[in-house]
A = this chain, B = another copy of it.
Amino acid sequence: MSTVNRENARRRGGDTAGRILDSAERLVQARGFNGFSYADVAAELEVTKASLHYHFPGKDELGLALLARYSERFGAALDAIEAEVPDAPARLAAYVALYADVLRGERMCLCGMLAAEYVTLSEPLRERLIGFFDVNEVWLERVLEQGRADGSLSFAGPARETARLIVSTLEGAMLVARPYGDLERFTAAASGLLATLTA
C-alpha cells in the first residue's frame, strides 16, 4: 500500500473493505439487495466502482460478506446478553431491543429484507440466510426453556414453536412499522408479544 493510500485510509477512519460493508449494509437494509448498486456505494464512499470490485469481485460475494458479518455481530450480541442478563424475561427484552435499535436507524433487519427477496438470491446466500434464522430460533428456544423451567415464562407447546413465533412477530413488526416511520408501532407489538409470555 502506498504512503498516500495509507494516509487516505487513515483519514477515512478504517479499512476500505469495512467501509464498503458499512455502506452496502445500510443500503441493503433500506432499499433491498435488488434496490442498491455498486454505483450507490461508490458515490457514498467517493471511490470508483472498479475499486469496489477489487474488494468484492461480484455482488454475490459482497452479499455473502454482508451476511457473514451481520450474523457474526448478531451472534456476539446474543452472547453478550447471556453474559450480562441472567433471567429469561429480561433476556427476551434485550433480544427485542436488538431489533428496535436496527429500526431506529430506519433500517429493516438485513435478514428480513433478504427473506423478502429470497427467490432472487443465489443458493449460497439462501443457505446462509436460513442459517441466521436457525441460530435465532435455537437461542430463543433455550431462553424460553430456561424461563419455563424457573417459572418466569409461560407458554404452551414446544419452545421451538414459540421461538419461531417471536422471530416472525419481530420481523413482521419491523416490516410494517417502517412505512409508518413509527418506532412505537414496533415496541407496542413487541410488548404485546412479551406480555403473552410472562402472563
A189–B168 touching, CB < 8 Å: yes
A148 within 8 A of B: no
How many angstroms between the C-alpha atoms of A129 and B32 in the bound complex?
A: 17
In the complex, whether A162 has a CB less than 8 A from a CB of chain B is: yes
* Subset of 18 A-B contacts with CB under 8 Å: A32-B116, A34-B34, A34-B35, A35-B119, A112-B116, A112-B176, A118-B179, A164-B176, A164-B189, A165-B173, A168-B173, A168-B176, A168-B177, A169-B173, A169-B193, A171-B175, A171-B176, A172-B172
Give residues in A with beta carbon < 8 Å to B: 30-32, 34-35, 108, 112-113, 115-120, 126, 129-130, 133, 156-157, 161-162, 164-165, 167-180, 185, 188-189, 192-193, 195-196
| Interface SS of chain A | helix
Instruction: Say whether A115 contacts B173, CB under 8 Å.
Output: no
